[in-house]
Amino acid sequence: EPEVTQTPSHQVTQMGQEVILRCVPISNHLYFYWYRQILGQKVEFLVSFYNNEISEKSEIFDDQFSVERPDGSNFTLKIRSTKLEDSAMYFCASSFSPFDWETQYFGPGTRLTVL
């Protein structure tokens, strides 16, 4: 069973610090996504990424956020200057086809706590 992995599982940071959340998508997948879930709230789409470009992003994904595929395997989400309200579970996902929801696999998530 293929799986998406994410590191770290839990990240604690101080407000104003930069964080990088890492994901290893499934190896033959071409489309990559980040979602977040604030505690008690809905899962929210942040961004989709294909061919080294952002293909779609939500209004949440402002200039404080960036994504990168620095090599052939990792997909990262960077938050430049974290705020308290960035505390959430961040899920990475990948799919072979664009927005192929049924075969979109999610990682287990990184819990980000901003103090």
Partner 1 sequence: DQQVKQNSPSLSVQEGRISILNCDYTNSMFDYFLWYKKYPAEGPTFLISISSIKDKNEDGRFTVFLNKSAKHLSLHIVPSQPGDSAVYFCAASAGSGGSNYKLTFGKGTLLTVNP
Query: Exactly one of 87, 109, 112, 114 binds partner 1 (CB under 8 A); which one?
Result: 109
Residue reference for tokens 């980000």:
112
Q: Is 91 in the site for partner 1 (CB under 8 A)?
A: yes
Q: Cβ(60)–Cβ(79) under 8 Å?
A: no
Cis amide linkage into residue 8, ω under 30° from 0: yes
Cβ proximity to partner 1, 10 vs 17, nearer residue: 10
- Cβ distance to partner 1 smaller for residue 40 or 72: 40
Three-state DSSP state, 48? strand
Strand, coil or helix: 78: strand
- Provide, rounded to whole angstroms, the least separation between the CB of residue 102 and partner 1: 5
> Which parts of this chain interact with partner 1 (CB under 8 A)?
4, 40-45, 48, 56, 58, 91, 93, 98-99, 101-109
